[in-house]
Amino acid sequence: MRAVVQRVRRAQVDVDGQTVGKIDQGYLILLGVGHEDGPAQIERLWTKILKMRIFEDQDGKTNLSLADVQGQVLVVSQFTLYANCKKGNRPSFTEAGKPDVANQLYEDFVARARQDVAVVQTGVFGAMMDVSLVNDGPFTICLDTDQL
């Protein structure tokens, strides 16, 4: 699994002009599922995200976790995180998970996040989405379970 985690002041995702997910302070997580991913990758990735200390304390040090600031989460599916650009100019997405399996793992990731966070919003898997955010920092981290 791959994730781009952005610390945000607020974020939302719209589908066909309608807001389907919206959060205040927390994380916007763009989540990509690979063809070899499963439950172990969900747990590894979510545990890392939950425990990351990237919010600033009163001294301006990044010592606080999502739980410490009672942050919210917006999870948006993003198969393009598995783009392979080694050959030619058109990315290949053969490393991304098959849609039916990827959708289930995406839903399982969201369910896992909801065990720890009071507000977890989502986009719509497979939909054309407009994502907007106010990045806090900016502070953006790329994670890959193959490297955790």
- Return the active site residues: 78-80
Q: Residues 28-45, buried b or exposed e (16+ Cβ, 10 A)?
A: bbbbbbbeebeeebbeeb
Give CA–CA dist 148/145, Å, rounded.
5
**Alpha-carbon separation of residue 80 from 45, 77, 136 (angstroms):** 18, 9, 23
Q: What DSSP string runs through 72-101? A: EEEEEE-GGGG-B-SSSSSPB-TTBPPHHH
Give CA–CA dist 27/135, Å, rounded.
9
DSSP label of 34: B
DSSP label of 8: E
